[in-house]
Amino acid sequence: MNQEEKKKPKYNVVSNAVFTFKKLWEWDKLILFYILGKMPIIVLLPLCGVYLPKIIVGEIENGANARQMIYSVLSIAIAMFILTILQRFIQEKTSLHTLEVTKKMEQTISSKAMAIHYEKMDRPHTQVMIKKAYDIAHGGENEGIQALLILFITIFANGLGFGVYTGILGTLNPLIIVFIILTTIVSYFVSKAVNTWVFRNRDKWLKLDLKLVYLTYKSSSFETAKDIRLYNMKKWFYGAFHKFMNRRIKWTVKMQLFYFLNNVVEAIMVLLRDGLAYGYLIYLVWKGSISVSDFVLYFGIISGFASWCSAIITSLAKVNQISLNVCDFREYLELEEYELEQASEKMILDKGQPCRIKLEGVSYRYESEDKATLKNINLSINAGEKIAVVGANGAGKTTFVKLICGLYTPTTGKISVEGYDLAKVNKSTYYEYLAPVFQDIRLLPISIKQNITLCAEHEVDEPHLLKCFKLSGMDKVIKKFPGGFDTLLIRDMNEKAVQLSGGEEQKLMLARALYKDAPIMILDEPTAALDPIAENAMYLKYNELTAHKTSIFISHRLASTRFCDRIILIENGEIIEMGTHDELLALGRKYANMFEVQAKYYKEQEEREQDEYIS
């Protein structure tokens, strides 16, 4: 048995029911009212159905006149009609309010997703939890968390019906009751075993579902459309679909098999139960122990009693399953949030002053990796210092800045900013002092201006914005759009949106970081997509861009690091060289070697370009 199969639910059914009640009370009180309203109908409607034929047959037996019969039938029929209308009404209302609850759950899930600690978000397990939470939100009255209360009401109402019918059947033969109960208990345990199996294994098919969602999204998104066509990725997509779909189908087949066995056991139990009970009734009529109208009544009561029992049993078995859904939902809501820890220290610094950053024995290992990506990093960055981080691909540069950003927590060691330990500080207060530009660019479907300022129109500092536009080079970009500042982005969401080029997007990200005007600026290859003129312009303006700030600049273009006060060279997760550009050249080791190779390449390229120009 593996780890997952041993997994025990974190909360019991009662605790989950209390949680559900509180949440529904918070999201939509009316749904509770409608769920409760189901109870009398569940009990009364079948009772009317059972008594109607008995009354008719009884009155025929007693020679009642037509008027009497019509009154009796009409009164029960009217009661049944009212109850049925009420049942439909409540059903409609419950469905409507279920939609409301789904919306509220979706909101809750997405606000939570935006607040989860970044490091947790990076884990596949968290992605599975998010998928489960959304599935539960869309589960409605049958699978959603509200189903738990609906089931409780169903059990309670069926319990009432069970009590009434037990009283009636008790007068006939208590052994029949015992037999019906025994057969339903067998059904319950089989059904419980099936649900437990589903709970223990569902993570496995949810992981496959996530892969299938990824494939569906990627194969139909504009983002990948170009590569799919030019590199004939269709074959790979079909293959991957086929592979994961086959695995998914195998799980579905297994699950169907378990449900089928469950249904077979259920059918056998019903056959035994009804066969014996009806046989006994026929025997009593044949013996003359009961009248025909009593036969009709008991006949209805026995089948009704069995359905009360099976409704109770089915609901009890389902209670476990839904309770597990509630557990999953609760566990998702309990994931650590980056700004959650109320008790954690708030970072309070002067935003106009650059910050000191200190790394002491910092190592970091990704959860999925065996070895540490960063090892024993010791570094003190002075307030206002301009640091360049260089190294080969995969050396650990981005991981290093993500640690400084507080997105990851060191596996060992400590990072402090102005004496505040990042592991203990409230992250949202720290993020105010950071203005990073990462390699992967994510823009919002709003205007260029809003993408930069990320605040309400009346809060925009226009002179500062204009300065940032100029410094980042965005002033030239917007000139070509009639909408200027207010040009919309992201075509998927806005029909009138424009598509920025990679370099233009990078300039926008730089403008966003500049506008934030935070004391720590982090630039992870901010010039990778810029043309040589824009890149050169940025280097020339580097001091101006980072004035009065502590800055960390990652670049593969070693010539650009000259503008920095200190360069650190990372190799295999360790700092192997540190110093100014001239010091590292004088050292004559790895950095000097890398610089020489690059300088030669750029010199040759320059000469080639000059030759081409002359000829």
386-390 vs 374-381, strand pairing mode: unpaired
Nearer to ligand ATP, 64 or 113 (CB): 113
Report the distance separating Cα 6 and Cα 196, nearest Å: 11
- Residue 90's nearest CA partner among 35, 149, 29, 28 is 35
Rounded to a whole number of angstroms, the minimum distance from the CB of residue 439 to ligand ATP is 6
**482 by DSSP, 3-state: which?**
coil
Report the distance separating Cα 27 and Cα 101, nearest Å: 6
Report the distance separating Cα 588 and Cα 4, nearest Å: 54
Number of residues that bind ligand ATP (CB under 6 A): 13
Q: Widest CA span of the chain, in angstroms?
A: 122
Q: Tally Cβ neighbours within 10 Å of residue 430.
A: 21
Nearer to ligand ATP, 371 or 479 (CB): 371
The reply to whether 529 sits near ligand ATP by the rule CB under 6 A is no
- Residue 387's nearest CA partner among 580, 531, 537, 538 is 580
Segment near ligand ATP (CB under 6 A), from 71-79, 391-399, 418-426, 470-478? 391-399
Segment near ligand ATP (CB under 6 A), from 65-73, 255-263, 300-308, 390-398? 390-398
Nearer to ligand ATP, 370 or 612 (CB): 370
The reply to whether 124 sits near ligand ATP by the rule CB under 6 A is no
Rounded to a whole number of angstroms, the minimum distance from the CB of residue 368 to ligand ATP is 5
Nearer to ligand ATP, 162 or 364 (CB): 364
The reply to whether 560 sits near ligand ATP by the rule CB under 6 A is no
The reply to whether 394 sits near ligand ATP by the rule CB under 6 A is yes
Rounded to a whole number of angstroms, the minimum distance from the CB of residue 128 to ligand ATP is 16
Nearer to ligand ATP, 329 or 438 (CB): 438
Segment near ligand ATP (CB under 6 A), from 106-114, 253-261, 367-375, 491-499? 367-375
The reply to whether 122 sits near ligand ATP by the rule CB under 6 A is yes
Report the distance separating Cα 409 and Cα 32, nearest Å: 43
Rounded to a whole number of angstroms, the minimum distance from the CB of residue 405 to ligand ATP is 12
Is the separation of the CB atoms in 154 and 307 below 8 Å? no
Rg (CA), the chain: 35
The reply to whether 398 sits near ligand ATP by the rule CB under 6 A is yes
The reply to whether 3 sits near ligand ATP by the rule CB under 6 A is no
Rounded to a whole number of angstroms, the minimum distance from the CB of residue 561 to ligand ATP is 14
Residue the block writes with tokens 């935006």: 114
Nearer to ligand ATP, 429 or 572 (CB): 572
Rounded to a whole number of angstroms, the minimum distance from the CB of residue 325 to ligand ATP is 29
Is the separation of the CB atoms in 271 and 232 below 8 Å? no
Is the separation of the CB atoms in 396 and 570 below 8 Å? yes
Rounded to a whole number of angstroms, the minimum distance from the CB of residue 477 to ligand ATP is 25
Nearer to ligand ATP, 170 or 394 (CB): 394
Segment near ligand ATP (CB under 6 A), from 65-73, 196-204, 365-373, 415-423? 365-373
Is the separation of the CB atoms in 359 and 552 below 8 Å? no
Considering only 20, 108, 262, 373, the residue that binds ligand ATP (CB under 6 A) is 373
Nearer to ligand ATP, 269 or 388 (CB): 388
The reply to whether 370 sits near ligand ATP by the rule CB under 6 A is no
Nearer to ligand ATP, 123 or 131 (CB): 123
Nearer to ligand ATP, 31 or 407 (CB): 407
Q: What is the token pair recorded at 118?
A: 């970044």
The reply to whether 410 sits near ligand ATP by the rule CB under 6 A is no
Rounded to a whole number of angstroms, the minimum distance from the CB of residue 226 to ligand ATP is 22
Report the distance separating Cα 234 and Cα 61, nearest Å: 77
Report the distance separating Cα 60 and Cα 279, nearest Å: 25
Nearer to ligand ATP, 319 or 377 (CB): 377
Segment near ligand ATP (CB under 6 A), from 157-165, 265-273, 347-355, 394-402? 394-402
Is the separation of the CB atoms in 321 and 258 below 8 Å? no
420-421 vs 434-437, strand pairing mode: unpaired
What is the helix (H) or strand (E) element at residue 590, kind and residue range? Answer: helix 590-614
Report the distance separating Cα 567 and Cα 389, nearest Å: 6
Considering only 179, 278, 366, 481, the residue that binds ligand ATP (CB under 6 A) is 366
Q: What is the token pair recorded at 275?
A: 């066969």
**547 by DSSP, 3-state: which?**
coil
Report the distance separating Cα 191 and Cα 265, nearest Å: 9
Segment near ligand ATP (CB under 6 A), from 5-13, 282-290, 362-370, 586-594? 362-370
The reply to whether 395 sits near ligand ATP by the rule CB under 6 A is yes
Segment near ligand ATP (CB under 6 A), from 165-173, 207-215, 387-395, 598-606? 387-395
Nearer to ligand ATP, 62 or 368 (CB): 368
Spatial strand order in the sheet of 566-571: 434-437, 520-524, 550-554, 386-390, 566-571, 574-579
Report the distance separating Cα 215 and Cα 238, nearest Å: 9
| 342 class by beta-carbon count within 10 Å (0-12 exposed, 13-18 middle, 19+ buried) | exposed
Rounded to a whole number of angstroms, the minimum distance from the CB of residue 553 to ligand ATP is 13
Nearer to ligand ATP, 320 or 398 (CB): 398
The reply to whether 396 sits near ligand ATP by the rule CB under 6 A is yes
Secondary structure of the chain: what % helix, strand, coil (to 5)?
65, 10, 25
Nearer to ligand ATP, 375 or 507 (CB): 375
Report the distance separating Cα 119 and Cα 126, nearest Å: 10
Report the distance separating Cα 133 and Cα 131, nearest Å: 5
The reply to whether 399 sits near ligand ATP by the rule CB under 6 A is yes
Site of interaction with ligand ATP (CB under 6 A):
122, 366, 368-369, 373, 391, 393-399
